Amino acid sequence: MTTKTPITVAHGDGIGPEIMDATLRVLEAAGAQLDVETIEIGESVYNRGISAGIEPESWESLRRTKVFLKAPITTPQGGGFKSLNVTVRKTLGLYANVRPCISYHPLVETKHPEMDVVIVRENEEDLYAGIEHRQTDQVMQCLKLISKPGTEKIVRYAFDYAQRNGRKKVTCFTKDNIMKLTDGLFHEIFDEVAKDYPDIENEHWIVDIGAAKLADTPEAFDVVVMPNLYGDVLSDVAAQIAGSVGLAGSANIGEQAAMFEAIHGSAPRRAGQNMANPSGLLLAGVMMLVHIGQPEIATAVHNAWLRTLEDGIHTYDLFAEGVSTEKVGTREFADAVIERLGQSPQKLKSVSYAGSAGTAVPTWTPAPPAKKEMVGVDVFLDWNEGTASDLGEALSPTGNGDLSLAMITNRGVKVWPEGFDETFCTDHWRCRYLAPDGQVASHAQVVELLGRVNAAGFDFIKTESLCTFDGEPGFSLGQGQ
């Protein structure tokens, strides 16, 4: 007897229940061995005053099954509600967002008939840590965090994915010409990890020109791995230019759990009319089957789906005179896929998931920590009482032989000493104090410095320790240096 894999299913809002029914019917007819636990998420839960949109008992199901097939939900308008996706992603540590963006020319209109790109987006770090502060009257801050473990995990995931799915190349996008430490780390780890996969080509693009190339010539890319923000933007761009926003599924993969969903929303205007296209969720279901080790069923479902599309049996969103043969509803579309189980497409490329079963979940291997030494401190001030020269003059006496004022910048531009009158200054100042060359500063010296800055009447809003790691500065040097 084959053992069934427990999965948690949420039918969601709007068109969610209809496309989930269609999806589960197809998976079942194909012989998927699933033991389904159903949970409620979304609007009805939000409306019961649960700001995360998910009940505590539902977490128990997710922690038990570790596999979540999720229909789209409607996020209520207005404040106070948290994004369910972000909550699930962060709580379950789903660090990899995988989104295949494939064109189905000539059945689905696209300017890029050869496009077959998989975007692998880091899902937990970068500017999405949600650490934001208003620091002064004029300035807000959002912290961009890139970690060694986070980066190594996502980059290894991308190379493993390429290897298991017979893909030839992994491309990395960063902006490390500007963000030398954060994006620099991502790029450096990409280069290191690439060495472990000699059979897979690797390349790095600066994200701006890389994004332009991706939008213009997507057929030049295969698997593309990126930090969170670039991946968020470019996975939508890629899905859109493939012409398949309504057809794309995505996976969110973690070390312990995984979530699979369509990339579109709950389309409330189409709800309850047997109109919606279930393809995005069905393809997410295919990714789920591969993940839980049922690759033959995944292959059968995907090929039957391609054949249905190719036979011109289309829901309203894809229906086009001359291309389509029959306009069908959600249920009838699922029936058509079920009828074609065992068949393969004849014009579109068929798929095979043999050999790609399971989802390798790379862990990272910590290296011995570098030797860390504090050599100074950046003290950030909220100050609006004069020019940069006035500030330099007033602040200089707060330094002493242990830590002396070396530089002031405003929005990263050096304004003291020897600033330009032309530089626009806000009320947010970074004041850099350094220990004498070759000397190490102590926390006690920093505390004493802050005491003197306070006594001189300045409003300090934060400090950043300036450290070297094995002698290499762990801080940007500031423009003009």
Per the annotation, the verdict on 128 as an active-site residue is: yes
- Nearest approach, Cβ of 462 to ligand NAD (angstroms)? 34
Q: What's the CA gap between 67 and 8, in Å, rounded? A: 6
Stretch that binds ligand NAD, among 22-30, 138-146, 262-270, 440-448 (CB under 6 A): 262-270
What are the phi and psi torsion angles at 446 (to 5°)? -65, -45
Residues 361-400 that bind ligand NAD (CB under 6 A): none
Q: Of residues 23, 174, 277, 299, which one binds ligand NAD by CB under 6 A? A: 277
Is 252 among the residues that bind ligand NAD (CB under 6 A)?
no
Q: Which residue out of 13, 126, 160, 232 is catalytically annotated?
A: 232
Q: Which residues are CB-neighbours of 396 under 8 A, at least 6 positions away?
A: 405
Stretch that binds ligand NAD, among 143-151, 198-206, 270-278, 343-351 (CB under 6 A): 270-278
Q: How far apart are the first and last CA of the chain?
A: 70
In the stretch 315-334, what mask flags binding to ligand NAD with x, by CB under 6 A?
Answer: --x-----------------
Which residue bears the tokens 């472990």? Answer: 196
Residues 81-110 that bind ligand NAD (CB under 6 A): 85
Nearer to ligand NAD, 282 or 466 (CB): 282
Q: The tokens of 81 are what?
A: 């509600």
Nearer to ligand NAD, 13 or 160 (CB): 13
Half-sphere exposure of 433 (CA within 13 A, CB side): 30
Q: Of residues 1, 49, 56, 269, which one binds ligand NAD by CB under 6 A? A: 269
Is 264 among the residues that bind ligand NAD (CB under 6 A)?
yes
Closest by CA position to 150, among listed 224, 227, 202, 98: 227
**Backbone φ/ψ region at 480: left (φ over 0), alpha (ψ -120 to 50), beta:** left
Q: Of residues 276, 283, 309, 453, which one binds ligand NAD by CB under 6 A? A: 276
Nearer to ligand NAD, 336 or 434 (CB): 336
Stretch that binds ligand NAD, among 111-119, 268-276, 282-290, 425-433 (CB under 6 A): 268-276
Closest by CA position to 128, among listed 164, 89, 157, 154: 89
Is 18 among the residues that bind ligand NAD (CB under 6 A)?
no
3-state secondary structure of 86: helix
Is 261 among the residues that bind ligand NAD (CB under 6 A)?
yes
Q: Which residue out of 208, 390, 459, 470 is catalytically annotated?
A: 208
Q: What's the CA gap between 244 and 222, in Å, rounded? A: 17
- CB burial of 412-441 (b: ≥16 within 10 Å; e: otherwise) equals ebbbbeebeeeeebebbbbbbbbbeeeeeb
Residues that bind ligand NAD (CB under 6 A): 15, 19, 72-75, 85, 246, 261, 264-270, 276-277, 280, 317
The residues annotated as belonging to the active site are 128, 175, 208, 232, 236
